[in-house]
Structure 1
Amino acid sequence: MDIATIVGFVLIFALMSMGMGFNFGPFIDPPSFLIVAGGTFGALFMSFPLNVVLGLPKIGMKAIKNQVPDSAGLIATLVSFSEKARKEGLLAIEADIETIEDDFLKKGIQLVVDGTDPELVKNILDTEVGFTGERHELGKSIFKSIASLGPAYGMIGTLIGLILMLGSLDDPSTIGPKMAIALITTLYGSVLANALGDPIANKLEFYNTKELAFRELAIEGILSLQAGDNPKVLEEKLKSFLSPDERASLSKEEGE
């Protein structure tokens, strides 16, 4: 679980609440909320397929539930498979396939054990990586859309409020409520964009980058395993994908 996302979300609203003096009454305006929320989500339904918009909560939860893939652990697994295959042959690692938790790695190892042509293995895995990236891009784009639509409908609400206010200047008692619509819609739109849309989109982009790098690492290791590379060569080749901290983690695991 990504604790940072939860901490950030709590900090945003806790500090905003303190800034409001915990007096929420002046900041609650149903018409303003309807303009911003209705406009934003109505535009989302126009911009994306129905099933994508309805799946928005599930996509958003990925920013909380996802974890950075364990690249160091992947290398250790591939090296152990390489050592076993070098001693007993590729078929010897078939019994270990069911112990693999990552479906992508499991699929690649199974293709290798089945004797699939290396070029075909690479094409199959590259295709899956490509489609995974597209799915992740769609999830990120819907939150980016929220970030752009929220302030836009906040501005529309502001214009509506100003028009209503200017049209009734002869009745001073209506100026306050209509001015509230004008100002609070802008606030709602900004909060929607900067406390939800952009942060979630950025976190999804972070995890997308990490997962695709993890899969590229897996492909390189799978192909090296199929080619019969020396385990030490395979390990050094895959270490080039890691950051210095990840390399240190791998060296620590090897030393234990």
Structure 2
Amino acid sequence: MDIFLIIGLVLGCLTVIVGMIVKGANIAVLLNPAAAIIIIIGTIAAVMNSYPRSEFLNVPRVLGAAFREKQQQDPVKLIEMITELAQSARRDGLLSLEQTIESIEDRFLQKGLTLVVDGLEQDYIREIMETEIDNMEERHKANAAIFSTAGGTAPTLGVLGAVVGLIGAMGFLDDTEKLAHMIAAAFVATLFGIFLGYVVCHPIATRLKRKSQIETRNMYLILEGVIALQAGENPSSIKMRLTGMLDPKSRKKIEDNEKAKQGSAE
């Protein structure tokens, strides 16, 4: 479970509640079933109308992926692993990698090495692996788009809920106290809509996109490593090429590892 996301959602709720208390508002007004029905059911209906059945029914699984803290492969460890494989292939030949493939946990790297051992051409290997990356990106983009749609719809439905509430309030013009309560309750729908859109749905969509970007980066790193390995490049050259695909912090980590190895060798 991704505790950081849960903390963010709880913090968002507390911000609204504490803000209302500081302003002297009665938080009991948040207990508004009509507003919740308009926002939640309305948003679900909008998503149903926007996406095919198969993608809509996939929402619980996608939501679970957003809350699940999936351990992404460390790119530094990936580079170290590919470098070791290149050294092994250079020493014993590409067919020697067949003994190592089964012990590799990363499915994409495992697939790439299998293609190399099978003796396929470099262009064909690249085409197969890039196709898998493109399909994954397209799938992830569609999943994130569902929450972006919900995030854009919820605030608008909040305005609709406020209008509905104000229409109901017009029936109490002769009762000032009741009228004030109804107007306050009407704007709760707007509050719910904005909160659901900009504190829940849009951030979840952004989080899904970011997770996809990290996974895609690692897959391209593996792709370039496999292609270089198949071409028989020098392990040091492969490591240098792949290191260039990393952010400065990860590059420094590789440099530190190199210095530690040299220090132990001396």
* Same fold by TM-score greater than 0.5: yes
Which residue among 19, 41, 46 is the counterpart of 1:43? 46
Residue correspondence of structure 1 range 213-224 to structure 2 within 5 A:
213-224=217-228
TM-score, length-scaled by structure 1: 0.92
1:154 to 127, 137, 158: 158
Letter of the aligned partner of 1:5 in structure 2?
L
Q: Tell me if 1:206 matches 2:206.
A: no
Q: Which residue of 236, 241, 244 maps to 2:245?
A: 241
Gaps of 5+ in 2: 262-266
Aligned mates of 2:10, 2:172 — CA distance in 1: 40
Shift of 1:176: 4.1
- Mean alpha-carbon deviation: is it higher for 46-55 or for 209-218? 46-55
Q: Following superposition of structure 1 onto structure 2, how do residues 35-184 of structure 1 map, counting pairs within 5 Å?
A: 35-64=38-67, 65-170=69-174, 172=176, 174-176=178-180, 178-184=182-188
Q: TM-score, normalised by structure 2?
A: 0.89
Name the Cα RMSD after superposition: 2.0
The Cα shift of 1:159 comes to 1.2
User: What is the aligned partner in structure 1 of residue 264 from structure 2?
Assistant: none
Q: Please tell me whether the aligned partners of residues 73 and 250 of structure 1 are also in contact (alpha carbons under 8 angstroms).
A: no
How many pairs are equivalent? 256
**Paired amino acid for 2:240:** E
- Checking the alignment, whether the CA contact within 8 Å between 1:108 and 1:121 is kept in structure 2 is yes
Determine what percentage of the aligned residue pairs are the same residue. 34
Letter in 1 for 2:8: G
Q: Given that residues 46 and 150 in structure 2 are in contact (C-alpha distance below 8 angstroms), is that contact kept between their aligned partners in structure 1?
A: no
The aligned counterpart of 1:27 is 30
Deviation track 1:23-55 (CA, whole Å, cap 9, x = no partner) reads 642211001110111110011111112232232
Residue 212 and residue 24 in structure 1: after superposition, are their counterparts in 2 closer, same or farther (change >3 A)?
same
Gaps of 5+ in 1: none
Following the alignment from structure 1 to structure 2, what is the Cα–Cα distance between the partners of residues 27 and 118? 61
Residue 16 (structure 2) pairs with residue 12 (structure 1): no
Contact 1:157–1:181 (8 Å) recurs in 2:
no
